[in-house]
Structure 1
Amino acid sequence: MRGSHLPFLLLVTVTVFSVITHASHNEIRRRRSIELSSAQKLITDNRLPTDIEPLSYILDLRPDFESSTFSGRIRINLTWKAESKIIELHSHYDLQIDETNVQVRLLGADDLSKGKLVDIRRTDRLPKRPVFQVYLKEPLKNGTKCELEINFNGHIWEHAEGLFKGSYTNENGAKVTYLATQNRPNYARKLFPCFDEPAFKVPYTVSISRPSNYTTIFHSTILSTEKLENKTGYVVDHFKTTEPLSTFAFGFIISQLTKVNATPTDLLKPKINIWARKDLHGDLADVYEKVSITLKSIQNYWNIDFPLSEVNLVAAPGLSTVKPIDNFGLILFKESDLVNQGYYLIAQELVYQWLGTWITPYWWTDAHVNKAIAGFLAASTANEIDNGKEFDGKWPMTVLYSIYYEFSKRYPHSRITAMKQETTCSKTELVLRMLNYTLGADTFKNGLRKLFKKEECKDLFITDDVWKYLTQQAHADKSLPEDVTVNEIATSWITKDRLPVVSVERDYAAKTAVVSQRVYLRERPHDVPEQDKMLWWIPLILITQDNLSFNNFKPYLWMKKTRDIILTNLPADDKFVIVNPEEIGPFPVNYDTKNWNLLASYLQTEEGRKQIPTYTRAKLLHDAWNLAYAGDLSFATAFNMTLFMKFERDHLVWNPVFTFIDHIGRHIDMSNVHKKFEIYVRILLTPLYEELGPVPQEHEEKWKDNLRSLAKTFLCRAGYKPCIEEAQIAYHKWMDSENPNEGNPVSNQFICPVFKWGTLEEWEFGLQRVINFPPSRKQSERTYLLKTLAGCPISKGKIERLLNITILQQNGNFTENDLFLIFSMLSGGSSGYTTLFNFLQQNWDQIKRNFKEKTNLWDNLISSATGVFTTQEGYDMVSNLYAKHQGEFGSADHIIEKSLKNIKEETKWSDANLPVIENWLNDYLKTVDVKDQKFL
């Protein structure tokens, strides 16, 4: 997968009958690694027995474009590591094996036994596992070598798994089909019978057929080509034997794509090839330079040359995968990824070539750490090349904030199970970033380089290898105490679906502080099981006001999985401290009120905003608000931390502001405090928006337009007249058009302000466009229109009109999916869910009749109408409804009971925090002029 700054290691071609010289698969199996339970659940696979291993594959594949099928023959050279009479290997259920012609031949050392057929008792397909078994009549001894031969047939898939097909329209308007493979993580078994585990790395000798006017791009060069006698217009290419590969790294593409003319670069090795359809060539001319720059940067980091002499990057038309398909020396990208993106995606895929494909993770749990390393190094490479322009400086904050929110839930991933793998990898990537800072960048880099110098199992690694070599380097460089290992540190973070929060309580007279850690829980109630048992190794990086040095991130000390610890020698009582500056570790930090207020005061000075860097200003703001939301900090203190924002113009510091405006605004929008909060938002955002101006300037940075858009969106929500008037002007062009059903000329940004603040006539026009939406247009446009029709209005009349048509009248233009969408959008704001609740209460009998046979809709309606209240008033409303219709809720009985329980918890929050928020807003609004004719 990836390399170091060693001299280039020549990859000698291994002949098909040779024995691999690296440590055996069995030997590796006995080594232990961190068990990432979350990772294991995501890639479920049973390991094959350890008594027989592959030495090499001889593979002949014959795809048929016309029938979307393929046939093949594979000869696998095997070695017995223990006596056995059962050969087990992977074969997908859809791969058809010719079981009558399976053969096993001895590959003996003497001429008498060589080539002799071994008697087979039977073959079998396991019903619940993608495994094919060959039972021999007699067991073979340890050290025996045989060749297993299997003929098979399979389907060419429409989706990107195994061998799949794609298509595009060429420059002449003709449809062109191509075939490609996607074998990651364990789809090679859909293509041919094999030992489909990452640690089995063997050479391949491959032949692949193709139409004569197509080209096959594979890992190795073509030795010869010959016509197929039994298939007119087809030829077969015979390729040079590859270096040892895992099955997931094996791949090819058969297409009519052509090579983009290479632009000169100063990169001598490897040779770079870019493949694409002809009419895209002009857009890809600069990719050679991008790849060259990226390769040089990565080679410099690893201190080792690229492990292949050639790399092929393919712009695959219509590729449906979320991420590129990476094989050793062959990477398939979406066209847009190569045309539009910067350096990150290219860097990530090239890092995978060193660490992932060349140096390969032993098992899927190790692959997650591998992915995290690739992500971290790719981001570092991209930032180094373009000074952070690709990310607008947001890496890793965007990822970090989402991790904070996910892991502070009562049940992480409960709503988005498919995201678990991504968040696990992202958290590991953040831990690597923390180690890079706390150990030192050179120590971290040199520790990773050791992966390529290790003597045992040189081309495989387990997670423990990463931590072991980082520890060795850190001890040698004296950047980690001798009694501490990186394994201990990393394990404490990676094996939990949680993050800690650190609290710093200062004793100003004694110049000390008690620093404590516990599980960070933002979502209420904080009743997570076993939270008292969770502890982390936490680096305490300390900045003090009398020494504002933000270039040394060596920990003041480590919290070694202890509940609390004492900091000493702190500054005087008029000086603040900052722990975990620049988000070095993925954890929020709380302080005593006095330290927070010292920080708030300092940030309101010009010196303070200059001395405290961007990421740390953003962190302080983000931590304060989220700790207040979680109930761990007074909202008065959190609001004080926003006072410096009237001077702040860095978009990275503003990003968390929009999040907390949204979160807090939604939470309190049923209370009387909300109107005062909206005034505060207007005062906060208006100077920023007016300074940025209403339209982008020529050649301005991307972040400015993004910041302008966010400020405008939230000002529109708060009733900013210029925004609403602009939206209505644009919207009326649609209303005045002759055929409004033919298309929507209005930008999406204008629709919600019109539906929220505009007239009933304007809203009704939108409703009619949904009702009369022509099937020839994209349904996504209708979906967006319906979402805004339901989710944006604050007018009770508009919402009731929509509910009457869809629920009572059961208008046939609205599907059940539409109703689910409407309920979901109404639950997003108090106007929506309060109106929905009252509508349910007033029309109970008819709604019950209409939904009698629609249990899912009924349950969803009850959840949306009762589950989002946050005050005692809301609790009383839902409680009275429950009492009045006791026994009538049917399948939704448990839902309203859960709603009452949740509302009671939220009511506690409101009772505790709304008075504090209101008192702070009252005091603040006395100091500012709130008369502004620009707002409704």
Structure 2
Amino acid sequence: MRRNTVFATVLATVLILGMVEARPKKVHQGVKKRSVDLNEVYSMIGQSRLPKEIRPLSYYLELQPFIKEGTFKGRVKIGITWVDTTDRITLNVHPNLQISHSDVRVTQLAPSKPEEAKNSSIHGVNVARTERHAKRPWYIIHLEQMLKAGSSCEVDITFSGNMTVNATEGLFRNRYTDSSGQQHLFVATYLRPNHAHKLFPCFDEPAYKATFQLSVTRPKGYTARSNTRVRKTEEAPGDSDTVWDHFEVTPEMSSYQLALVISDFESIKPSIPVNEKDGTNLDINIWSRKEYLETLKAVPDKIVAIVNYYQEYFNCSIILPKLDIMAIPMYSTSKPSDSWGLIFFKESELSNDGFWHIAHEIVFQWIGQLRTPFWWSDAPLNEALNSYLTSMATLEISPDELEGKWPMNALYSLYYEFGKRFPFSRVNGIRQDATASKTELIFRMFNYTLGKDVVQRSVRKFIRDQWEENSKTFFADDIFTYLNNAANESGKLMEGLTLNDIAATWITRDRLPLVTVTRDYETGNVTFSQEVYLRDRPQDPVERGKYSWDIPIVMVTQDKLDFSETTPKLWLSKDGDRQVTIKDVTKEDSFIIVNPEEIGMFPVNYDSCNWKMLAEFLQGPEREKIPVLSRAKLLHDAWNLAYAGDLCAAVALNMTLFMKNEKSHVVWEPVFAMIYHIGRQIEGSYVYLKFEAYVRTLLKPIYQIVGETPQQGEPSWKTHLRGLTKNFLCRAGYEPCVQEAREQYKKWMVNEEPDAGNPVANEFLCPVFKWGTNDEWEFGLKRVINFPQNCLERKQYERTYLLKTLAGCPKDASKIEKLLVETVLGTNSNFTDADIHLIFSTLTGSATGYTTLFNFLADYWDMIKLKFKDKKHLWDGIVNSATSSFNTQEGYDMVSELYVSRQGEFETADTIIEKALKSIQEETQWSEKNLPVIDAWLKEHLPKEDLDAIEAANATTTPTPPALAG
């Protein structure tokens, strides 16, 4: 499924690199291919738009593709009307589309009103000249006379061009090879978002809707499919091997919605009919190359289930009588083409077991095709609404498919990104995806707070009204207007609020709120306050109060654990007081849960007493009365608030005690993020070995439940949970895991040709390099040094991965120092500047790594400066990596002493170390406050044998897993 989220990729990174990497990225619900490519859409928002004096009414388009030659020619007749007086016609035409002046004719049409038509006649309009705009894909037809508003003309243009053969856009040609080795050519269109003008002259903007009547030639034995059915087929004059297919006229649609495929594909139909809607039964056909049809045999009935759901939800058909779904071989685009009545998929995407991806493309038949965004700036709202509707459809049709990942993965990544000091400072490209995710979750929030029926009623009216009123495009704000009207009719919106304003505030700000709930158990009052949620340090108090939101406060109480009642008790207003006090809603010995099920995009903090009651209840026999999403939220909020410094670490640790009985993978997901982030924060401190021991205690029970060995046909969540659990246990020194890794690694060490290939799975490398011997680590180093160059059997990423694990995994500083001496000070030409930079950045992922790098910089200062004299990027890189990750007073003193002793020698890195010192001061405050608390809690809750093992491990110089006894 979707987009890119931080939380999911943190976990994936940990699996891949054994937690070597320090910077997670964004993914949303797995991998999501979108009909609307938001990056392309955002780049087009400022695109120059056509003049508004004229608009199209109809297209009659003839196309003659010459498939073997890879060329085409065509003729288009565009019926246009004048909105204002002008003597020019401006169309979108790609520079590679060939048109000559003599191939352009303009004919004035009779007025449509009978009384005006009596005194008029059809006559030609002289074309003075034509020109192509120098900087824009515009073709301008200059007329010899001015035409007034209300005039109508037909523009007749003959054109020719070349098919696209190296990309999937415009009219493209491709081929596939069958099992006998025979090649089959086919052609198809990919016209979105604005590639129609590569195929024919047109008004290539979404707001210009018109009818299309397409006629196309094809070889006999091939099939042509388009948006509508074939009305008539006839032989091409003078060519017995070619026929003309004439398609039915389409409803009004945008130019990019036109679609065509000419192929020898074959089709299958569903075994069950589509429910009748609007007096028709939609005719569905699934097309692919003949040999792939068996793979798609389950797809037709799946599509019927999806269409039936959407028809019922929207109370509307797609208007067209048929829907063709194509599995396109060798389809190189990352986005399916969901044109009206004809959808193209990659073969693997269509044959996928799930519903989500297919449902996501089909929903655009209603909101996207039937109703179309007016301009590209309105398309992201379309994408967000449809993603929300897709998730709702999937939960209804295939409840287990999302496996609890939605909406939690999206929310976790938003909390992570928007809680940074500078959101999107590293990867600006994910801003659009994050905005789309927020918008999608706003629809989910309204679905809870207003009610599913209100949202459904507004969406139905949104589609029906505009279609019946012949206004088939929409602006981004329109859907919220419809929602607002439905909410007002239902009486479910607080007076003074509008959904348009509420949504705009959430969408446009690169921040999210934190709601703090404080109960006064003596007076019986409860106070709600809001401020900006900041997770990273330093936390500027001014920034905390910079924004406010309209926030729905939904509450559940211990004495009435009813999670179906989601009407807000109140709204915190962005325009009112930041703090609101009401009478408490339950008894003083009962907890409350605010924002259950993550209804809104905000974490919640409570007073210590309420947290204590929550922790105790979750350890009791009735904990499953709190649904999994709410259990996951409580755990996730507690740990992120502790990381931010807003909650006592002991309170957050108490919230993990119930996990010994927890079996839901949804609730376990935030645990791994907690281990990763808190572990990095305290690594290298006197607390860390105890924390690792607690991680082993926490994870061993769930690892035993999921089992060490994958079972055939097991759900993907189980495979995912097993992989995460095993990886984190390995990281924490779980002896069975370390032993297995070393046994697997030994197979490589005894191989007679170790440089011919790596027989060891990546998951085993990091445990070996962390807990194994020097000989095992040095064997890995030799494999990097001796890695064969220009060898087709070995890929460069294998070497890169091995180098990252060699640097990022060891706990033994001597291994890291040897690597640094070899790569930075050595003369081995096998290590490039890119390798060195990779090692520096990787070492920031562990306390052993950045501390060793710092000592290496201090000890070999002069040699390193000389080595990097002409390589400022490496000099800046080593200073940054060696100084920026410390988080204790001891680390601050080390960096400060180096700064003072080498004053004036840092050159370009001077500002880097100054910034690092400021950051360390902030992190030191967190460590001084929280490390003693964490240490005391762990001493109280760890078994005595673990504490004794840790004490013994601290007395040795060689790192050994404290849990070697089991």
Q: Which residue of 2 aligns with 1:134?
A: 141
Deviates more, 1:217-226 or 1:559-568: 217-226
Q: Which residue of 2 aligns with 1:554?
A: 567
Q: Which residue of 2 aligns with 1:637?
A: 651
TM-score (norm 2): 0.87
The answer to whether the 8 A contact 2:421-2:536 is kept is yes
Displacement of 1:653 in angstroms is 0.9
Q: Which residue of 2 aligns with 1:24?
A: none
What SS does the aligned partner of 2:351 have? Answer: helix
Q: Which residue of 2 aligns with 1:33?
A: none
Q: Which letter does structure 1 place at the counterpart of 2:694?
A: Y
Structure 2: gaps spanning 5 or more residues? 1-37, 112-116, 950-961
Q: Which residue of 2 aligns with 1:182?
A: 190
The answer to whether the 8 A contact 1:467-1:486 is kept is yes
What SS does the aligned partner of 1:806 have? Answer: helix
Displacement of 1:721 in angstroms is 0.9
The answer to whether the 8 A contact 1:222-1:238 is kept is yes
Displacement of 1:434 in angstroms is 0.8
Cα distance per residue 1:93-124 (max 9 Å; x no partner): 55555467444332344697524133335523
Match status 1:124 vs 2:141: no
Judging changes above 3 Å, is the alpha-carbon distance between structure 1 residues 131 and 497 closer, same or farther for their aligned structure 2 residues? farther
Judging changes above 3 Å, is the alpha-carbon distance between structure 1 residues 329 and 37 closer, same or farther for their aligned structure 2 residues? closer
Q: Which residue of 1 aligns with 2:376?
A: 364
Q: Which residue of 2 aligns with 1:318?
A: 330
Q: Which residue of 2 aligns with 1:7?
A: none
Judging changes above 3 Å, is the alpha-carbon distance between structure 1 residues 820 and 740 closer, same or farther for their aligned structure 2 residues? same
The answer to whether the 8 A contact 2:532-2:543 is kept is no
Q: Which letter does structure 2 place at the counterpart of 1:836?
A: L
Aligned match for 1:484, one of 497, 502, 507? 497
Match status 1:729 vs 2:737: no
Q: Which residue of 2 aligns with 1:757?
A: 771
Displacement of 1:866 in angstroms is 2.7
Judging changes above 3 Å, is the alpha-carbon distance between structure 1 residues 918 and 403 closer, same or farther for their aligned structure 2 residues? same
Counterpart CA distance in 2 for 1:913 and 1:92 is 63
Q: Which residue of 2 aligns with 1:408?
A: 419
The answer to whether the 8 A contact 2:287-2:327 is kept is yes
Counterpart CA distance in 1 for 2:832 and 2:245 is 53
Cα distance per residue 1:290-332 (max 9 Å; x no partner): 1111111121211222322211212222333333221112212
Aligned match for 2:729, one of 715, 719, 729? 715
Q: Which letter does structure 1 place at the counterpart of 2:352?
A: N
Aligned match for 1:919, one of 923, 927, 936? 936
The answer to whether the 8 A contact 1:37-1:495 is kept is no
Q: Which letter does structure 1 place at the counterpart of 2:455?
A: F
Counterpart CA distance in 1 for 2:88 and 2:918 is 57
Deviates more, 1:541-550 or 1:62-71: 62-71
Q: Which residue of 2 aligns with 1:27?
A: none
Aligned match for 2:920, one of 903, 911, 920? 903
The answer to whether the 8 A contact 1:200-1:246 is kept is yes
TM-score (norm 1): 0.89
Counterpart CA distance in 2 for 1:191 and 1:354 is 25
Judging changes above 3 Å, is the alpha-carbon distance between structure 1 residues 733 and 486 closer, same or farther for their aligned structure 2 residues? same
What SS does the aligned partner of 2:141 have? Answer: strand
The answer to whether the 8 A contact 1:38-1:421 is kept is no
Q: Which letter does structure 2 place at the counterpart of 1:588?
A: P
Cα distance per residue 1:240-261 (max 9 Å; x no partner): 3322211232222333433246
Counterpart CA distance in 1 for 2:765 and 2:372 is 50
Q: Which letter does structure 1 place at the counterpart of 2:483?
A: L
Displacement of 1:394 in angstroms is 1.9
Alignment of 1:825-904 (within 5 A): 825-904=842-921
Judging changes above 3 Å, is the alpha-carbon distance between structure 1 residues 37 and 249 closer, same or farther for their aligned structure 2 residues? closer
The answer to whether the 8 A contact 2:87-2:147 is kept is yes
Q: Which residue of 2 aligns with 1:436?
A: 447
Judging changes above 3 Å, is the alpha-carbon distance between structure 1 residues 832 and 99 closer, same or farther for their aligned structure 2 residues? farther
Taking only the aligned residue pairs, the percentage that are identical comes to 48
Q: Which letter does structure 2 place at the counterpart of 1:600?
A: A
Displacement of 1:465 in angstroms is 2.6
The answer to whether the 8 A contact 2:215-2:245 is kept is yes
Displacement of 1:358 in angstroms is 0.7
Displacement of 1:603 in angstroms is 1.2
Structure 1: gaps spanning 5 or more residues? 1-35
Q: Which residue of 2 aligns with 1:31?
A: none
Counterpart CA distance in 2 for 1:889 and 1:63 is 65
Aligned match for 1:248, one of 251, 256, 260? 256
Match status 1:799 vs 2:816: yes
Aligned match for 1:565, one of 557, 575, 580? 580
What SS does the aligned partner of 1:54 have? Answer: strand
Judging changes above 3 Å, is the alpha-carbon distance between structure 1 residues 531 and 120 closer, same or farther for their aligned structure 2 residues? farther
Aligned match for 2:155, one of 148, 161, 171? 148
Judging changes above 3 Å, is the alpha-carbon distance between structure 1 residues 670 and 530 closer, same or farther for their aligned structure 2 residues? closer
Displacement of 1:734 in angstroms is 2.9
Aligned match for 2:557, one of 532, 537, 544? 544
Displacement of 1:401 in angstroms is 0.8
Q: Which residue of 1 aligns with 2:167?
A: 159
Counterpart CA distance in 1 for 2:752 and 2:289 is 40
Displacement of 1:165 in angstroms is 4.4
Deviates more, 1:879-888 or 1:318-327: 879-888
Alignment of 1:647-658 (within 5 A): 647-658=661-672
Q: Which residue of 1 aligns with 2:92?
A: 90
Aligned match for 1:584, one of 596, 599, 610? 599
Counterpart CA distance in 1 for 2:522 and 2:79 is 76
Q: Which letter does structure 1 place at the counterpart of 2:586?
A: P
Judging changes above 3 Å, is the alpha-carbon distance between structure 1 residues 899 and 233 closer, same or farther for their aligned structure 2 residues? farther
Match status 1:510 vs 2:529: no
The answer to whether the 8 A contact 1:94-1:155 is kept is no
Displacement of 1:554 in angstroms is 0.9
Displacement of 1:656 in angstroms is 0.2
Match status 1:270 vs 2:287: no
Deviates more, 1:481-490 or 1:659-668: 481-490
Judging changes above 3 Å, is the alpha-carbon distance between structure 1 residues 788 and 37 closer, same or farther for their aligned structure 2 residues? closer
Judging changes above 3 Å, is the alpha-carbon distance between structure 1 residues 55 and 703 closer, same or farther for their aligned structure 2 residues? same
The answer to whether the 8 A contact 1:97-1:153 is kept is no
Counterpart CA distance in 2 for 1:895 and 1:257 is 61
Aligned match for 1:606, one of 601, 610, 621? 621
Q: Which residue of 2 aligns with 1:25?
A: none
Cα distance per residue 1:466-487 (max 9 Å; x no partner): 1222222223223224543322
The answer to whether the 8 A contact 1:312-1:329 is kept is yes
The answer to whether the 8 A contact 2:374-2:474 is kept is yes
Q: Which residue of 2 aligns with 1:77?
A: 79
Alignment of 1:5-404 (within 5 A): 43-65=45-67, 68-92=70-94, 95=97, 97-98=99-100, 101-109=103-111, 114-127=122-135, 129-150=136-157, 151-154=159-162, 156=164, 158-210=166-218, 214-223=222-231, 237-260=245-268, 263-265=271-273, 269-387=281-399, 389-404=400-415
Judging changes above 3 Å, is the alpha-carbon distance between structure 1 residues 671 and 315 closer, same or farther for their aligned structure 2 residues? same
What SS does the aligned partner of 1:696 have? Answer: coil
Displacement of 1:578 in angstroms is 1.0
* Relative contact order higher in (CA < 8 Å, ≥ 6 apart): 2
Displacement of 1:814 in angstroms is 3.9
What SS does the aligned partner of 1:242 have? Answer: coil
Judging changes above 3 Å, is the alpha-carbon distance between structure 1 residues 37 and 793 closer, same or farther for their aligned structure 2 residues? closer
Displacement of 1:534 in angstroms is 1.8
Q: Which letter does structure 2 place at the counterpart of 1:469?
A: Y
Judging changes above 3 Å, is the alpha-carbon distance between structure 1 residues 628 and 91 closer, same or farther for their aligned structure 2 residues? farther
Give the number of aligned pairs. 898
Counterpart CA distance in 2 for 1:920 and 1:38 is 51
The answer to whether the 8 A contact 1:314-1:332 is kept is yes
Q: Which letter does structure 2 place at the counterpart of 1:843?
A: Y
Judging changes above 3 Å, is the alpha-carbon distance between structure 1 residues 793 and 447 closer, same or farther for their aligned structure 2 residues? same
Judging changes above 3 Å, is the alpha-carbon distance between structure 1 residues 94 and 424 closer, same or farther for their aligned structure 2 residues? farther
Judging changes above 3 Å, is the alpha-carbon distance between structure 1 residues 677 and 38 closer, same or farther for their aligned structure 2 residues? farther
Displacement of 1:363 in angstroms is 2.2
Q: Which letter does structure 2 place at the counterpart of 1:515?
A: F
Match status 1:674 vs 2:688: yes
Q: Which residue of 2 aligns with 1:597?
A: 612
Counterpart CA distance in 2 for 1:70 and 1:795 is 67
Judging changes above 3 Å, is the alpha-carbon distance between structure 1 residues 40 and 699 closer, same or farther for their aligned structure 2 residues? closer
Q: Aligned-pair RMSD on alpha carbons?
A: 3.0
